[in-house]
């Protein structure tokens, strides 16, 4: 596996061949429809992940509260989870603001 990197332009253009070790590339987006079809197809596999349930997010909130050394009870964690639109990032942001 190698990457060809062009340098210069016109008659002075050269290409540097950079050997690469095999690697795995993982892409992620919340707006797959904004990607061109050829780009999406280059990834080979496409998965759609569901949003977290309120109960799962409440567990995320409780774990994050422990890491941040913030006291919160289960009903409080569930209230944060319900307002997080299924996304742990939003849960953690709300937890830090409460």
Q: Domain 26-98 belongs to what architecture?
A: Orthogonal Bundle (1.10)
Predicted pLDDT of residue 54: 97
- DSSP assignment string, the chain: -EEEEEES-GGG-EEEEEE----------S-GGGS-HHHHHHT-----PPPPPHHHHHHHHHHHHHHHT----HHHHHHHHHTTTT-HHHHHHHHHH-
**pLDDT (0 to 100) of residue 10:** 83
pLDDT confidence of residue 98 = 86
pLDDT of residue 20: 93
Could you state, in order of their start, the residue ranges of all structural domains in the chain?
Answer: 26-98
């Amino acid at each position: 596996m190698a990457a060809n990197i062009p340098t210069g332009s016109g008659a002075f253009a050269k290409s540097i061949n950079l050997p690469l070790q095999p690697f795995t590339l993982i892409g992620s987006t919340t707006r797959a429809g904004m990607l061109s079809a050829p780009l999406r197809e280059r990834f080979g596999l496409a998965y759609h992940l569901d949003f977290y349930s309120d109960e799962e997010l409440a567990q995320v909130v409780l774990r994050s509260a422990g890491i941040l050394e913030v006291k919160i009870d289960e009903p409080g964690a569930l209230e944060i989870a319900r307002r997080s639109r299924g996304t742990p990032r939003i849960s953690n942001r709300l937890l830090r603001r409460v």
